[in-house]
Homo-oligomer: A and B are copies of this chain.
Amino acid sequence: MPIFTKPIRVYFSPDKKLHESLRNILGFYPTHISLYKLAFRHSSAAQVIKKGVKDSNERLEFLGDSVIGTVVADYLFKKFPFKDEGFLTKMRSKMVSRQKHNQLAIKLGLNNFIEVNNERHGNKTSSINGDAYEALIGAIYLDKGYTFAQQFILTRIVNVHIDMDEVETKEVDFKSKIIEWAQKEKKEFRFDAIVDGASSEDKQYSIQLLVDNVAVGNAQHFSKKRAEQLASEHACTVLGI
């Protein structure tokens, strides 16, 4: 990252303080400060600006999420020249998970900037911080361009906050994810198992995961534990967890 001297506009900006705070956590002065204000505005604190549209960070989040995905795809493509696309896909989904983005947002201190209306925001268990992180990347992309956003993600996030060895070795525990989600959302769930095959060699488990009595995932495997993991992974895709 280049060194940024303070631009003259900052001295005269009504948002001088925000400029300086963002300089401290991001390492550069924003050009269009309004984009960053928008990135930190949760929908509970947003105003309706036109029928059906709020000035919340959700549109920026949509954009930023995609930018992060591409930057990480590029990074993995170059870091692992001899791994196939299945490996790259898996690695990326671990690097850009909701949980990871929530953690990154806290590490960067973004939670101090987020505008949220606690009265209107009922669901405390959501991913407000991670969403703001994605929206921030969307803002940087629009403000400074792709290459700048890419440099920011690589030097300020990936190189500093992501332990690639950990990402590579860590298996995602989908069953725990489902259990955690069901508790938060107050849903009932159960795994129904059917055993096929008479002898111990042929034995195969068909597992169906039901949430509030609706089948959301199913899988077959010789190991019951593995079948449950696969059914949970299936359900995570279906439920968008």
Q: Give chain A's interface residues, CB within 8 Å of chain B.
A: 49-50, 52-54, 58-59, 61-63, 66-67, 69-70, 73-74, 77, 82-85, 88-89, 141-142, 145-147, 150, 208, 214-215, 218, 234, 237-238
Q: How many whole Å from A218's CB to the nearest CB in chain B?
A: 6
Partner of A237, one of B53, B70, B89, B238: B238
- The CA-CA distance from A165 to B61 in the complex, in Å, is 25
Query: Does the CB pair A70–B66 fall under 8 Å?
Result: yes
Please, which residues of chain B bring their CB within 8 A of the CB of A84?
A: 52-54, 58-59
Partner of A63, one of B77, B82, B83, B218: B77
Please, which residues of chain B bring their CB within 8 A of the CB of A141?
A: 74
Copy number in the complex reads 2
The 3 closest A-B pairs by CB, nearest first: A62-B85, A66-B73, A146-B146
Please name 28 pairs of A and B residues whose Cβ atoms are closer than 8 Å in the assembled complex, sorted by A.
Answer: A49-B82, A52-B82, A52-B83, A52-B84, A53-B82, A53-B84, A58-B84, A59-B77, A59-B85, A59-B88, A61-B85, A62-B73, A62-B85, A62-B89, A63-B70, A63-B73, A63-B74, A63-B77, A66-B69, A66-B70, A67-B70, A69-B70, A70-B70, A145-B147, A146-B146, A146-B150, A215-B215, A237-B237
Q: Closest residue to A217 on the B side, CB-wise?
A: B238
Q: Closest residue to A51 on the B side, CB-wise?
A: B82
Q: How many whole Å from A41's CB to the nearest CB in chain B?
A: 14
Q: How many whole Å from A193's CB to the nearest CB in chain B?
A: 15
Partner of A238, one of B49, B50, B66, B234: B234
Q: How many whole Å from A22's CB to the nearest CB in chain B?
A: 21
- The CA-CA distance from A146 to B153 in the complex, in Å, is 15
- The CA-CA distance from A186 to B145 in the complex, in Å, is 47
Please, which residues of chain B bring their CB within 8 A of the CB of A67?
A: 70, 73
Q: Closest residue to A67 on the B side, CB-wise?
A: B70
Please, which residues of chain B bring their CB within 8 A of the CB of A146?
A: 70, 146-147, 150
Please, which residues of chain B bring their CB within 8 A of the CB of A208?
A: 215
- The CA-CA distance from A61 to B66 in the complex, in Å, is 16
Q: Closest residue to A49 on the B side, CB-wise?
A: B82
